[in-house]
Chains A and B, each alone.
Chain A
Amino acid sequence: MPSDPLVAEHVLEFPGGYTRTTGPVIGRFLTELRDGRIVGVRTADGLVLVPPLEYDPATGESVTEEYVQVGPAGTVLSWAWVGTPRKGHPLDRPFAWALIKLDGADTSLVHAVDAGTVKGIRPGLRVRPRFKPESDRIGHITDISCFVPEVTTMIAPVRIEYRIQPGRSLARFLEGVRDGIFLAGRCTRCDKVYVPYRTTCPECGSTIGEELELPDTGTVTTFAINNLPDPRAPEVPFVSAYILLDGADVPMIALMGDIPAHEVRQGMRVKAVWLPPEERTLSMTNIKWFAPTGEPDVRL
């Protein structure tokens, strides 16, 4: 008869932690750390080891008794990103391990970097230690809670409020849009029709006197597929297109709809899709978007 295996919980622990003597070299480092300083030790060859070791790793010779204050800033040489910290890790939120070469040191120190997200860590990043408060420091590598990136950017809030009016020509155009009509202006001197309606010709500067109504059909002259959300667009991706209304000489920018983004093409015949009359206001939002008519494409 199958049965669950017999399993016992087993813990290996030295209650209260094991007391280790540090020796003079590591002891000096930890003592300085408790005082909020980071020191390295100089080897006979003149290199500065941080953290200090009792011997030169290259030659095995004893180090000198010269201690050198380094950092506190340093440069990240190599890193690894921990998305899910373990119980024993120094931080309880995602962080980076890094090899950090402190300024003035010839070797690098392994520690944690509180970099926010994986995009916040890279080789070459300048970091500084975040020490625990003095009263909590005991002479332990964790007297440095972690390293944090140096300040290289700041957020500058900007906000000014305005009250704006559309101007006479745009106000006139919006009245038309409220009524389901595209109003245009024609320059008699240049023989060009401009939409939205305007009161001067941008080519010759003459006053435009003639106002005319254009149909709500036209042709796509060019377009862009947008992959970032926009409050004016119903979904992502969306297409913003230049639409040359029938009878106009300049295109108007508008949303495309009722068609997958990748099927929009130059020369496509389109027609405006309007909000129901009772929902319309003095706003371009009266036009939901332009949709294909199904007519054959036009050569541009």
Chain B
Amino acid sequence: MREVAVIAFAQTKHTGHDEGLTEPELISPIIQEVKERSGLTRFGFTCSGSCDYLAGAPFSFVSALDAIGAWPPISESHVEMDAAWALYEAWVRLQHGDVDSALVYGYGKTSQGDLHEIMTLQLDPYYLVPLGLDQVSFAALQANAVGAEPGELREIVRRSRADGRANPYALDLPDPGEEEYDVHPLRPMDIAPMTDGAAAVVLAAGDLARELVERPAWITGIAHRTEPHYLGVRDLARSASAADAARAAGVGKGPVEVAELHAQFSHEELILREALGLPPGTAVNPSGGPLAANPVMATGLIRIGEAARRIIDGSASRTVGHASSGPCLQQNLVTVMEA
């Protein structure tokens, strides 16, 4: 495998409301920021992740290219997924060996519609979409299957929100109070907040990475796995695909100082901790995680970026970034990074 590292990461100061920016306006500042941090102005490959249903417009990602500078023509691609999968595509592209750098970005404005109902549209169109099964409802089915202690979930929310308040990019959310159920057994606190935001990462291979930054976050393992889409054929209490991806990425081959997990509901953290086999000493979501800021389609990329940042700034030497896609943690991508 060709050595590839995360060398720069930037994210917006995420908001819980619509700031009135278009997608190009939202991402432009962070593209500038990663260009300055990496020292690169042109990239061998560019890949983005976004979802047209968030904006309700086909090919909405095309307009975002205005923020990139696509002239003279660039080599560009897009995934209709979280931008963590755009990073995976860029990593694969760098394995070809003919280009040495890649720009990856993702963005989501969930304030423009009802995210939980938009997420219905990703489901099976024959058996589930006609029922109107929304995101909170299918997550609640999984939470019920897990059967977690309410106190354990509340502590995850409390810790995530406290860490989020210390993170200038995440939302300022209060300690959890007493709340009625949303869809039993989930309470509003267990659900990631509506968030607008974006993130960008620069990947560089081998010597270029060493030239540009002092401590590149070398990707020593990256893998993703998926499970069947229909909820009734899966064991919702655990995530076999996350466990397989973690094994393939080599999570267990060394200590894990920080793990950033793409848990959009508090119970998902319990499933993912078990699936990734994280040791007790691992700091989970020290950024606050998705429960403190969830700019959909950038949230997974931010997990990789946050985990990489700890290596780049010298505060950790081996970290894990996890991203998820699909209903009830259907697809999982695990990235291991080392100094």
Contacts and interface: CB of A to CB of B under 8 A. Distances in A.
Pairing of A with B: yes
Interface of A: 5, 10-12, 20, 22, 26, 30, 49-51, 53, 57, 77-83, 86-90, 97-99, 107-112, 118, 140-142
A140 B134 contact: no
A144 B48 CA distance: 41
B56 interface: yes
26 contacts: A11-B56, A20-B125, A20-B126, A22-B126, A51-B126, A51-B127, A53-B230, A53-B233, A57-B233, A78-B144, A78-B236, A79-B141, A80-B140, A81-B184, A82-B137, A82-B183, A89-B132, A90-B131, A97-B138, A99-B145, A99-B231, A99-B236, A107-B232, A108-B232, A110-B230, A141-B127
A111 B134 contact: no
Interface in B201-231: 228, 230-231
A97 B126 contact: no
Contacts of A26: 126-127
Given A12-B53, A30-B126, A88 B132 contact: yes
Contacts of A99: 141, 145, 231-232, 236
A53 B117 CA distance: 24
A9 to B, nearest CB: 11
A53 B184 CA distance: 29
Nearest to B142: A78
A257 to B, nearest CB: 34
Contacts of B231: 99, 110
Nearest to B52: A12
B230 A57 contact: yes
Interface of B: 18, 20, 53, 56-57, 112, 117, 120, 125-128, 130-134, 137-138, 140-145, 180-186, 228, 230-233, 236
A82 B138 CA distance: 11
Contact of B233 (A79, A88, A107): A107
Given A22-B126, A30-B126, A111 B131 contact: yes
A89 B137 CA distance: 10
Nearest to A47: B233
B230 A80 contact: no
A80 B185 CA distance: 7
A68 to B, nearest CB: 16
Contact of A142 (B112, B131, B233): B131
A82 B135 CA distance: 12
A90 B132 contact: yes
A97 B133 contact: yes
A126 B125 CA distance: 27
Nearest to B231: A110
A39 to B, nearest CB: 13
Contacts of A140: 130
B132 A97 contact: no
B184 A12 contact: no
Across the A-B interface, the 7 shortest Cβ-Cβ residue pairs: A88-B132, A80-B140, A81-B184, A57-B228, A108-B232, A12-B56, A78-B145
Contacts of B140: 80-81, 97
A140 B130 CA distance: 8
A80 B134 contact: no
A118 B133 CA distance: 18
Most chain A CB within a 10 A radius of its CB, from B133, B181, B185: B133
Given A10-B56, A80-B184, A86-B117, A110 B127 contact: yes
Nearest to B236: A78
Contacts of B137: 80, 82, 97
Nearest to A105: B232
Nearest to A53: B230
Given A81-B183, A81-B184, A83-B183, A88 B117 contact: yes
Contacts of B138: 80, 97, 110
A112 B20 contact: no
Given A5-B20, A20-B125, A88-B134, A83 B184 contact: yes
B75 to A, nearest CB: 30
Nearest to B186: A80
Contact of A141 (B130, B232, B236): B130
Nearest to B132: A88
A51 B132 contact: no
A123 B57 CA distance: 41
Nearest to A97: B137
A144 B144 CA distance: 24
Nearest to A77: B145
Contacts of B182: 83
B134 to A, nearest CB: 6
Contacts of B20: 5
Contacts of A118: 184
